[in-house]
Amino acid sequence: MRLTLHVWRQPGRDAPGRIVEYDAPDISPDLSFLEMLDLVNERLIAKGEDPIAFDHDCREGICGSCGMMINGSAHGPMKLTTACQLHMRTFKDGDEIWVEPWRAKAFPVIWDLVVDRGALDRIIQAGGFISAPTGGAPDGNALPVSKQSADEAMDAAACIGCGACVAACPNASASLFTAAKITHLGVLPQGQPERWRRALAMVKQMDLEGFGGCTLFGECMEACPKGISLDTLMRMNRDYLVAAVREREERAEAGTG
Amino acid sequence: MADLTSRTPSGPLAESWDRHRFEMKLVSPANKRRYHVLVVGSGLAGSSAAASLSELGYGVSCFCFQDSPRRAHSIAAQGGINAAKNYANDGDSVWRLFYDTIKGGDFRAREANVYRLAQISVNIIDQCVAQGVPFAREYGGLLANRSFGGAQVARTFYARGQTGQQLLLGAYQALEKEIARGGVRMYDRHEMLELVVVDGRARGIVTRDLVSGAVEAHVADAVVLATGGYANVFYLSTNAKGCNVTATWRAYTRGAAFGNPCFTQIHPTCIPQAGEHQSKLTLMSESLRNDGRVWVPKRREDCAKAPGDIAEGDRDYFLERKYPSFGNLSPRDIASRAAKEVCDEGRGVGPGGRGVYLDFADPIQRLGEDVIRERYGNLFEMYERITAEDPYHSPMRIYPAAHYTMGGLWVDYNLMSTIPGLHVIGEANFSDHGANRLGASALMQGLADGYFVLPYTIGDYLASAKLAPVAADHAEFRRAIEAVEARTKRLLAIKGRRTVDSFHRELGHLMWEKCGMARNAAGLAQALERIPALRAEFWENVTVPGSGAALNQSLEKAGRVADFLEFAELICRDALHREESCGGHFREEHQTEDGEAKRDDEQFTYVAAWEYAGAGKDPVLRKEPLQFDSVHLATRSYK
């Protein structure tokens, strides 16, 4: 196949960026999208030009490193597929392909297609964990967990933290990412003691990072390579609301007491 | 000369870890905060160690080259994690897991280490459940188990086909909790490029900030390497693209002995290579072999036929034929070699004849497509996405690929290398898997080291060592920074004609052909001649665009490939010296009449620990003899 690529090039966080056109001949349909970029880069280097920088690592759709807008869609046109698992057979000879980084205020561009997703780690730091210091755990079977809960937790825990939900959202909201973690931990009995604190803290951090609010467009779910469900958003909103009310009541009680 | 004392406790095996824990010195709670530990790597071993050390009160800095600690390659482990819980009531025990692991490793691991691993395995499951790892459950709410390659009991815990992901997220979340608390300082997009040794002790590292290019010194009281394995020396492997040998290789050149580098594991169930620009090989979980049946045509002339057109009687279910008691569940090294053998006979299928079928027609007929979809749905989807073939209707094609490295830096029972203060955990060390690792044991070892071994043993070191204060401008740190900067400068100045990837590809091909699934003296000698020539060409003719003062992915790769080009020689040297076949190390000269590995216990029941002797000099081979007091050295048989 012969393709024409239009790729966002930006040599540094504060440098101006622009779209650059590249001719990409002799592309095998069996290549993954990232292998296609590898090949384009090899040719650029041979010509003495700087290769296109992009994040990637496992190349099997699980590490969440890769992510780019491909023809306006996060991770490209195939549903439930990360850029590294997208294969060139999805495209046809002569196609023009536009490749851009995630666009969100909370994800500043570092270089070309590489963005800083540290905000997602900080949302986890705010409360995306169960405090279970090493050593004191009871037997794994001491607390039965219904298969339904375990499955629901696993569905939400499948999030790979790639940021596609943010990139796809017209508001650049990180709600699906945050809700996935709140759901994963919130449906398990082990997650109950910190459930309300977790919802408050994570949502607050999401706002602090400059992500937009959720207005239920649902674009996030469409773009999510792991199929995280919008149901998680309902759970997050409910937990947040309950937590906020509880907090207000606790404060009031403390005030009167 | 480095000290190769294993520090294995004497006395009965079952009591040794308990006794050792009592004998080790403790750091008092008030003093822990005075110590600072660097943890390099944030996979299962690194994250769990960093979080656990911080919980104990130590000051911790943790480093990873990815943009977040959650991306470490442990995340890609699919199948599961072993533990001797005996929840399945099928006769498992700590002793059985210990024995299986020792035997699976072809009797080339330390008894005491492996026994400890089996003991700790049960605590790992408890810890992970408490963190909210969503393990598979039975309808009654209890944890589900399955059997896994090479085991006859169901002791494997799993979270769909994403067990590594869920365990890593558990450890990552514990780490993030400690980062938020201020106990751990996280350095993401930082790569360790030098180890700094002061007065014979590991006292810090030098890193490059991959975004700004800044070269920085980090001083500490102890250094922990949790930097994973080196399977990417084969270029095409199941490892993530960034996996590399740099941290352990730098430590080796500073004096840490390298244990059994030739013990590499080839995984039998990977998607075969499709073309020359392929960048990695994708593993299909070994759990598929629980139901799938492996076969090739009996006759060469049938290989080009569609699999459905080959009659049942014309198929050779070679694993079931050769290993009737383990069949399709034979251990990885055995299954891989058997696949290579039938392909070498010209009976392989798919492009280049490098593939065998993994067929689900029988189980689909017996259990229904829904059951198979429930068990392996995500794997089948992944296969279809990559190959555009539907495995529900035609068999998968699989072929072995480099997957895991049992070799690594030599460590004693305390997981400390031959450099005092340098600890090595997880895949980066050589310790527990001997010459072959059993399925679902890597996750177990990474977490055992990080959660339950290192947090105790590092305290013993810190409490015993009298460490003088060291400043970041100490001569050794300055020297290390200069070395890193000079190397970067040199790589950028070559401006040759070949890309880094082209060198890596050539090296990988050479290693796969001469030092892969089967090795012989002539091939290894050829590799040992070719590698230095390729390395010399690299340093004259590689081209690395860009600068060192900013994000430069070509430069990152160039540094890693430069180290692989040195390290590859050590693997071949080790493989050449080990005149026996054991586990993943198969020397064609040493096999039985029916093609099975032939160990030489008389001569090779030892760990080969290689010591660096200086640039351009042959490394020195040292030996740690292995003693087997509790198990009988048997010939491994899965027939």
- pLDDT, tens digit (0-9, with 9 covering 90-100), for B362-387: 999 999 999 999 888 888 988 998 99
Chain B: closest CA distance from residue A257 (Å)? 30
Query: Is B376 in a helix, a strand, or coil?
Result: helix
Give domain status of residue A225, yes or no: yes
**Residue among A19, A1, A2 at smallest CA distance from A10:** A19
Distance CA A15, CA B267 (A): 45
Residues A167 and A243 in one domain: yes
For residue B101, the model assigns a pLDDT of 96
For residue A234, the model assigns a pLDDT of 96
And the tokens for B299? 């006759």
The DSSP code for A116 is -
Closest partner CB to B70 (pick from A31, A85, A161): A161
And the tokens for B286? 């070994």
Residues A74 and A194 in one domain: no
Distance CA B480, CA A71 (A): 46
* CB spacing of A184 vs B132 below 8 angstroms: yes
Residues A16 and A126 in one domain: no
Residues A23 and A39 in one domain: yes
Per the CB < 8 A criterion, the answer to whether B478 and B204 are in contact is: no
Other beta carbons within 10 Å of A77: 12
The pLDDT of A152-178, averaged and rounded, is 98
The DSSP code for B467 is P
The pLDDT of A130-150, averaged and rounded, is 97
Which residues in B506-517 are b (16+ Cβ under 10 Å) and which e? bbbebbbebbbb
> Does the CB of B160 have a partner CB in chain A at under 8 Å?
yes
Query: Is A206 in a helix, a strand, or coil?
Result: helix
Give domain status of residue A136, yes or no: no
Q: How far is CA A78 from CA A73, A172, B183, B392, B403, in A?
A: 9, 21, 42, 21, 28
Q: To probe the interface with A, which of B425, B495, B553 has the most A CB atoms within 10 Å?
A: B553
Query: Is B209 in a helix, a strand, or coil?
Result: strand
* CB spacing of B127 vs A137 below 8 angstroms: yes
Chain B: closest CA distance from residue A8 (Å)? 16
For residue B182, the model assigns a pLDDT of 98
Report B:283-322 residues touching A (Cβ under 8 A). Answer: 283
Nearest CA in chain A to B139: A147
* CB spacing of B73 vs A63 below 8 angstroms: yes
With a CB cutoff of 8 Å and minimum separation 6, the contacts of B351 are B272, B273, B274
**B88 — pLDDT class (breaks 50, 70, 90):** very high
* CB spacing of B180 vs A62 below 8 angstroms: no
The pLDDT of A153-159, averaged and rounded, is 98
> How many CB pairs (< 8 A) connect A and B?
216
User: For residue range B322-357, what is the model confidence (pLDDT) as tens digits?
Assistant: 999 889 988 888 899 999 999 999 999 998 899 999
Closest partner CB to B388 (pick from A89, A161, A184): A89
Give domain status of residue A35, yes or no: yes
Give domain status of residue A135, yes or no: no
* CB spacing of A63 vs B501 below 8 angstroms: no
Q: To probe the interface with B, which of A129, A131, A205 has the most B CB atoms within 10 Å?
A: A129
Distance CA B28, CA B25 (A): 10
Bridge partners (DSSP) of residue B405 are B264
Closest partner CB to B71 (pick from A48, A63, A138): A63
Which residues in B399-430 are b (16+ Cβ under 10 Å) and which e? bbbbbbbbbbbbbbbbbbbbbbbbbbbbbbbb
Nearest CA in chain A to B83: A140
Distance CA B430, CA B442 (A): 12
* pLDDT above 60 for A257: no
Other beta carbons within 10 Å of A127: 28
* CB spacing of A35 vs B179 below 8 angstroms: no
* CB spacing of A144 vs B141 below 8 angstroms: yes
Burial class (CB in 10 A: 0-12, 13-18, 19+), B472: middle
Distance CA A18, CA B633 (A): 66
* CB spacing of B279 vs A59 below 8 angstroms: yes
Q: How far is CA B136 from CA A137, B48, B381, in A?
A: 18, 22, 20
Domain boundaries in chain B?
267-402, 476-625
**B599 — pLDDT class (breaks 50, 70, 90):** very high
* pLDDT above 80 for B639: no
Distance CA B132, CA A137 (A): 11
* pLDDT above 80 for B174: yes
Chain A: closest CA distance from residue B456 (Å)? 12
Per the CB < 8 A criterion, the answer to whether B608 and B626 are in contact is: no
User: Which residues from chain B sit within 8 angstroms of residue A11, using beta carbons?
Assistant: 550
Chain A: closest CA distance from residue B474 (Å)? 33
Closest partner CB to A191 (pick from B132, B136, B177): B132
Cα atoms in the Cβ-side hemisphere of radius 13 Å centred on A207: 6
Chain B: closest CA distance from residue A74 (Å)? 17
Distance CA B414, CA B25 (A): 12
CATH code at A192?
A: 1.10.1060.10
Give domain status of residue A178, yes or no: yes
Bridge partners (DSSP) of residue B62 are B39, B186
Closest partner CB to A65 (pick from B66, B128, B546): B66
Distance CA B34, CA B31 (A): 5
And the tokens for B347? 């009976």
Higher pLDDT, B636 or A30: A30
User: Which residues from chain B sit within 8 angstroms of residue A56, using beta carbons?
Assistant: 241
Strand (E) positions, B260-386?
264-270, 293-297, 315-316, 356-359
* CB spacing of A126 vs B162 below 8 angstroms: no
* CB spacing of B132 vs A185 below 8 angstroms: yes
For residue B595, the model assigns a pLDDT of 81
User: Which residues from chain B sit within 8 angstroms of residue A190, using beta carbons?
Assistant: 129-132
Which one-letter amino acid corresponds to residue B435? A
Cα atoms in the Cβ-side hemisphere of radius 13 Å centred on A29: 11
Per the CB < 8 A criterion, the answer to whether B170 and B70 are in contact is: no
The pLDDT of B202-223, averaged and rounded, is 98
Residues A95 and A126 in one domain: no
Closest partner CB to B501 (pick from A42, A55, A128): A42
Other beta carbons within 10 Å of B264: 30
Give domain status of residue A31, yes or no: yes
- Structural domain boundaries enclosing A224: 117-130+144-256
For residue A66, the model assigns a pLDDT of 98
Report B:469-528 residues touching A (Cβ under 8 A). Answer: 499, 501-502
User: Which residues from chain A sit within 8 angstroms of residue B48, using beta carbons?
Assistant: 134
For residue B453, the model assigns a pLDDT of 98
**B63 — pLDDT class (breaks 50, 70, 90):** very high
User: Which residues from chain B sit within 8 angstroms of residue A150, using beta carbons?
Assistant: 134-137
Selected from 3.90.700.10, 3.40.640.10, 3.20.10.10, 3.40.50.460, the CATH number assigned to the domain covering B267-402 reads 3.90.700.10
Tokens 């492997």 -> residue: B237
Residues A122 and A232 in one domain: yes
Higher pLDDT, A172 or B285: A172
Percent of chain B with pLDDT over 90: 89
Residues in chain A: 257
Per the CB < 8 A criterion, the answer to whether B217 and B574 are in contact is: no
Residues A89 and A126 in one domain: no
For residue B537, the model assigns a pLDDT of 98
**A64 — pLDDT class (breaks 50, 70, 90):** very high
DSSP codes, B117-157: HHHHHHHHHHHHHHHT----B-TTSSBP-B--TT-SS--EE
Sheet of strand B215-219: strand arrangement: B190-198, B201-209, B215-219
Which CATH architecture group holds B476-625?
A: Up-down Bundle (1.20)
Closest partner CB to A121 (pick from B129, B176, B283): B176
Q: To probe the interface with B, which of A60, A79, A90, A114 has the most B CB atoms within 10 Å?
A: A60
B373 is catalytic: no
CATH code at A17?
A: 3.10.20.30
Per the CB < 8 A criterion, the answer to whether B392 and B227 are in contact is: no
Chain B: closest CA distance from residue A174 (Å)? 17
And the tokens for B536? 């010399």
Give the relative orientation of helices B111-131 and B13-23 as an angle to the nearest 10 degrees.
70
Residues A248 and A126 in one domain: yes
The DSSP code for B543 is E
Give domain status of residue A16, yes or no: yes
**Residue among B115, B45, B41, B128 at smallest CA distance from B80:** B128
Chain B: closest CA distance from residue A204 (Å)? 15
ipTM score: 0.98
Cα atoms in the Cβ-side hemisphere of radius 13 Å centred on B589: 13
User: Which residues from chain B sit within 8 angstroms of residue A137, using beta carbons?
Assistant: 123, 126-127, 129-130
Distance CA A201, CA B97 (A): 42
Dihedral sign from CA coordinates of B338, B339, B340, B346: positive
For residue B150, the model assigns a pLDDT of 63
Alpha helices in B578-618 (DSSP H): 601-604
For residue B149, the model assigns a pLDDT of 66
> Does the CB of B543 have a partner CB in chain A at under 8 Å?
yes
Residues A99 and A176 in one domain: no
Per the CB < 8 A criterion, the answer to whether B11 and B19 are in contact is: yes
Mean pLDDT, chain B, whole residue set: 95
The total number of structural domains in chain A stands at 2
Closest partner CB to A134 (pick from B85, B455, B545): B455
Give domain status of residue A139, yes or no: no
* Residue of B332, B519, B535, B636 marked catalytic: B332
For chain B, first and last CA: distance in Å?
A: 44
User: For residue range B424-460, what is the model confidence (pLDDT) as tens digits?
Assistant: 999 999 989 999 999 899 999 999 999 999 999 999 9
